[in-house]
Amino acid sequence: MSYQKIIDGNCEILFGKELWSQLSLVLTKISPSQIFVLTDGNTEQDCLPYFDENFPRKWTYKHISIPFGEKNKTLTTCHQVWNELSEAGADRKSILINLGGGVVCDLGGFVASTYMRGISWINIPTTLLSMVDASVGGKTGVDFNGIKNLIGIIRNPLMVGIDSTFLQTLTLRERKSGFAEMLKHALLSNKEHWEALQSIDLEKLQDIDKYIYKSIQIKHAVVSKDRNETGLRKQLNFGHTIGHAIESYYLNNENPILHGEAIAVGMLIELYLSVTLLRCPESILERYTKMILKTYSKLPIQDSDINEIIKILAFDKKNEKGKINFVLLHNFGKPEIDCQVSNSAIQQAIRYYKKV
């Protein structure tokens, strides 16, 4: 892929192997007092060697590693990173480079935003999910009391670097997780992009760069008009109201599910609500249902789980005055935000997923 970049506020999102030379220029420009690189256990093993090969030789860094997994996206893990920064003498001119997936990028951004009231940080996402989602928009945060991203702040990194070479380290299941967010961007964009995504081979990843770039373009076009999520940006929560509740429900389960797996189910349930409440064409729901049943394993949601999932919805960040707000679709590229849905309608939509 030829060198391109997207400007997201005060942040440059860079693509391809050229990002490494740009990283050198950025570091030279800001001349940090110290550089820290944050990984989890997986990216330390799978991604740090490639990072080392490409990291500018002029600079050295100190490495911080956190435990792998969503269950560690907590304030306890933040305390660990803050402690390591403090003990290493990190000051306000230090910089943190987050090398990892959504957990590392979200948590690392939050740590950097709050350490000494804010130090600079750079995101180098290593998963498909974090490339198309966490790369743009400046959302940082951690889970709290079993609720996804309850604590956080919106603040941009200094730079984001997208190198699809990292995707070779992922399992097919992890690639599918990121693909769910790409499907979301297509549903929020247009039918043509949805059709184009049908040709993606997640095993071979051929032409994946152009699809990553397109997803980021779609998200950036929305975020740039509503950075603080007061209106338009809310549409990016499509699938996430139910999806986050399902993900939170499974968070402490013996078999927790991946973010994208939860969002894929969340979008199906919210498409069902879109058909019943906004007269979204049933053909979209039918095609989407067929696709995710082919792509993702069916979640074993029982009747006894449904009310527990609905209880978790009460903690969703998008709620206002105790009312649960959904994003629903009239059609491709025609979302409607702040849709209030009855519990009985939610139950019916979840049961639709159970029986398909």
The Cα–Cα gap between 76 and 349 comes to 36
Q: Computed from CA positions of residues 140, 146, 148, 152, in that sequence, does the dihedral angle turn out positive or negative?
A: negative
Tell me the CATH number for domain 173-355. Answer: 1.20.1090.10
CATH class in words for 5-169: alpha beta
Selection from 153, 169, 353 nearest residue 270 by Cα: 353
**Nearest-CA neighbor of 308 among 355, 267, 356, 350?**
350
At residue 319, the pLDDT reads 62
CA distance 267 to 180: 9
Distance CA 206, CA 194 (A): 17
| Catalytic center residues | 117, 139, 181, 219, 229, 233, 237, 240, 244, 259
pLDDT tens series, the chain, 356 aa: 454 788 888 899 999 888 998 999 999 999 999 999 999 999 999 999 999 999 999 999 999 999 999 999 999 999 999 999 999 999 999 999 999 999 999 999 999 999 999 999 999 999 999 999 888 899 999 999 988 889 999 999 999 999 999 999 999 999 999 999 999 999 999 999 999 999 899 999 999 999 999 999 999 999 999 988 889 999 999 999 999 999 999 987 777 899 999 999 999 999 999 999 999 999 999 999 999 999 999 999 999 999 999 999 987 666 666 678 899 999 999 999 999 999 999 999 999 999 99
- Amino acid present at 188: L
Domain ranges of the chain: 5-169, 173-355
- How many helices and strands in the chain, by DSSP H and E? 14, 11
Q: Sheet with 95-100: list strands edge to edge.
A: 5-8, 11-15, 159-162, 120-125, 95-100, 35-40, 62-66
* Residue 191 dihedral angles phi and psi, to the nearest 5°: -65, -35
- 278, HSE (Cβ side, Cα atoms, 13 Å): 24
Confidence (pLDDT) at 152: 96
For residue 34, count other CB atoms closer than 10 A to its CB: 18
Which pLDDT does position 75 carry in this prediction? 98
Query: For residues 11 and 159, is the Cβ–Cβ distance under 8 A?
Result: yes
pTM: predicted TM-score of the whole model, two decimal places = 0.92
Q: What is the pLDDT of residue 317?
A: 60
